[in-house]
Amino acid sequence: MMVGNLMKKKEHLPDFSCEYFTDDKNCLVGLFWSDGESKRNYQVFGDIMSFDATYRSNRYSMVFVPFTGIDNHNNNVSFGAALLASETAETYKWLLRCFLKAFGRQPDVVVTDQDPAMKKAIEEVFTGSRHRLCMRHVMHKLSTKVGVTLCNTTDFKQRICDIVWTDSLSPDEFEVGWHSVIQDFDLSDNN
C-alpha cells in the first residue's frame, strides 16, 4: 500500500522521487523517497549529510533510514528517507545510487555510525564525498573502551576532544596528539 501511494505521488508530482525493489518472493527489500521540499533543502544545506540506520521499530522489521542535514539556524532538515530490509553493503549501494539519481550530486561530507557496510557503500558510490563518523557514537563507545572512570576525567575528555572534534589537524598532527594521549593516560596496553 505504501509503495503504491508513493508511486502515485511520483506520477503526479514532478519533483517527487521514489524508488523501490523487491526480492524474488515480491517482498519489499528497499524503498527510497524524497519530496520537493527535501530536494530544496539539499540544494541549500546538502554540503554535509547524515544518514543513520538505527531505527528498527516497525512490525515489518525494516530499518528506517533518514537522510538529514543542518540548516543555517542549526535545525535538522530532511533530505529524504528509506526503509531497508537488510543492512548490507549491496543494499546501501542501491540506496546511495537512488539518492544520487534523485539529487544529482554527492554531498561533500557524509556522517554515519561505524557500520562497515555503510563505509563500503560510501567508498564505492559517493567517491567524491568525505566520510566521517558520528562523534556521538565515537564518544559513547569511548567509555566502553577505556572505562567510565577515565572517560569522566575532565582532562582526559578535553584532550580527546581537542584531537577528534577538529577538522584542522593533518593526519600527522592527529597521530602525534593521539599517541600523546595514549602515553599520558597509560593506555598503551589498552587495545
The pLDDT tens digits for 43-98 are 999 999 998 887 765 677 889 999 999 999 999 999 999 999 999 999 999 999 99
Q: What is the pTM of this model?
A: 0.78
Q: Which residue has the higher pLDDT, 24 or 135?
A: 24
- Predicted confidence band at 5 (pLDDT cuts at 50, 70, 90)? confident
Q: Which residue has the higher pLDDT, 22 or 8?
A: 22
Q: Which residue has the higher pLDDT, 177 or 53?
A: 177
pLDDT of residue 165: 78
pLDDT of residue 105: 95
- Separation between Cα atoms, residue 112 and residue 132, nearest integer Å: 7
Q: Which residue has the higher pLDDT, 175 or 13?
A: 175
pLDDT of residue 142: 81
- The answer to whether the CB of 185 falls within 8 A of the CB of 179 is no
Spatial CB neighbours of 140, under 8 Å, sequence gap ≥ 6: none
Low-confidence winner among 59-73, 137-151, 168-182 (lowest mean pLDDT): 137-151
Helices in 13-167 by DSSP H: which ranges? 36-45, 89-103, 116-125, 135-146, 148-151, 154-164
The stretch 4-31 carries a mean pLDDT of 87
pLDDT of residue 9: 79
User: What is the three-class DSSP state of 104?
Assistant: coil
The stretch 19-34 carries a mean pLDDT of 92
The closest of 97, 128, 131, 130 to 113, measured between CA atoms, is 131
Spatial CB neighbours of 15, under 8 Å, sequence gap ≥ 6: 35, 36, 39
Three cell numbers at 120? 563500503
The stretch 104-124 carries a mean pLDDT of 91
